Amino acid sequence: MSNKILVTGATGFVGAEIVKQLVNQGKSVKALKRKTSNTQFLKDYEGSFEWVIGDVNDIPSLESAFEDVDYVYHSAAMISFDPAQKHKMFKVNIEGTANMVNISLENGIKKFLQVSSVSAFGRYDIKHPINEETKWFEHDENTNYAIAKNRSELEVWRAQEEGLNMVIVNPATILGFGDWMQGSSQIFKNVYDEISFYPTGINGFVGLEDVAKACIQLMDSDINGERFIISAENLAFKELFEMIANGFGTKVPSKPISPFLRAIGWRFYWMKSKLLGQQPLVTKETTLYTSRDYIYKNDKIRRALDFEFEDIKEVVQRTCKKYQEARI
C-alpha cells in the first residue's frame, strides 16, 4: 500500500493548512479541488503534492481521486447562514459526506477523519458547558449550518457501523490568516476597519495551526470511533475584538450590539445582499448565536493526545501581523 493521503476541501481554510502540515512532514498527499477552485492558500506548496480534480457530489470523480489512497481527511464543506443556500449546503455537506464514506468503505480506507464543527452540537440557547457527550436537540433556533453538520456526522457514524475506522473533530471558531472576506476571518477585517460594535456573546476559539495539528495527530493515533472538540479558550467576543484591535493598533470596538441593533442589522444586510446579488455578511442566525454564551470543554483532546493549545492571544498577534504584511 502507498500510504497516500487524500484531503478534500484542500483549497479552503482548514484543508489547505492540513495539506501544508502533511507536506512539511514528508507525507504523500493528494488534494481534491474543483476546476474553478482558487488555490491561493497553497500557492507556495505547488509541486509538493498532487492536485486531483473532483467534487464530493460527483461520484465518478471521487472514484478516480481515491485511487491508491489509504487515509482520508474530509474537510470539504459549505458554510452559509443564508436561508436561500440551505438546499445547496445540505447537498454538499450531507450528501457529499455520504459519498465520501461510501467510497471509503468500498476502497478499504484505513482511516477517515471528518472535520465537523462545534455547530453540530446545536445552536439553540444551551445552558451548560458543551462536551463530546452533549446530545443534539431539535430546536427551531438551530441554524441550517448546524443541522447540516450534525447530519453529515450521522453519515460518518453510520459508516463506522459498517466497518469504517473513523474520527470526527469539532473545531470551535477558527482564527488564522486567510481570506478575510470569508468565514471567521471576517472578524479580523471588521476590527481592522474600526467598527464600533461588538457581539455580546461568548464562544470557543482555536488557532488554525492547532486544528490541523490535532487532526494529523488523531489520524496518526490508534484512536477510532471518537469525536473531539478542538477549542483552545472560551472568550467573550468583546475580549477577542480588543485583542485584535491591539494587534492592529486600531480603535477598540466599544459599543455592545443590543437586541434592537441585531434586529435592524440582519434586515439591513439581507436587503443589501438582495440588491447587490451577494451573500449577506450578517444574517438573523449569526446575530442570534453571537449574542449567546457557548462554553466548550477541551478535556478529551488534551487527555487523549497530551495536546497543548497555543494561547489565543499569541494566535491573534501572529495573525494580525500576517494580515498587515499582506496589505503592504
Contacts of 272 (CB under 8 A, 6+ apart): 278, 280
**Predicted local confidence at residue 303, as pLDDT:** 98
The pairing of beta strand 4-8 with beta strand 29-33: parallel
Contact indicator for 73, 8 with CB cutoff of 8 Å? yes
Spelled out in words, what is the top-level CATH class assigned to the domain 4-175+205-232+295-310? alpha beta
Q: Whole-model pTM?
A: 0.93
Domain ranges, ordered by start, for the chain:
4-175+205-232+295-310
Written as nine digits, the cell of 238 is: 468583546
Contact indicator for 57, 98 with CB cutoff of 8 Å? no
Q: What are phi and psi of 203, to 5 degrees?
A: -145, 170
Per-residue pLDDT of the chain (328 residues; tens, 9 = 90+): 357 999 999 999 999 999 999 999 999 999 999 998 889 889 999 999 999 999 999 999 999 999 999 999 999 999 888 888 899 999 999 999 999 999 999 999 999 999 999 999 998 888 899 999 999 999 988 999 999 999 999 999 999 999 999 999 999 999 999 887 777 788 898 899 988 888 999 999 999 999 999 999 999 999 999 999 999 999 999 999 999 999 999 999 999 888 777 777 767 666 776 777 766 667 777 777 788 999 999 999 999 999 999 999 999 999 999 999 987 5
**Predicted local confidence at residue 1, as pLDDT:** 39
Segment holding 227, helix H or strand E: strand 226-230
The three-state (H, E, C) secondary structure of 113-136, written as one string: EEECCHHHHCCCCCCCCECCCCCC
CA nearest neighbour of 169 among 130, 243, 99, 118:
118
Contacts of 60 (CB under 8 A, 6+ apart): none
**Predicted local confidence at residue 66, as pLDDT:** 96
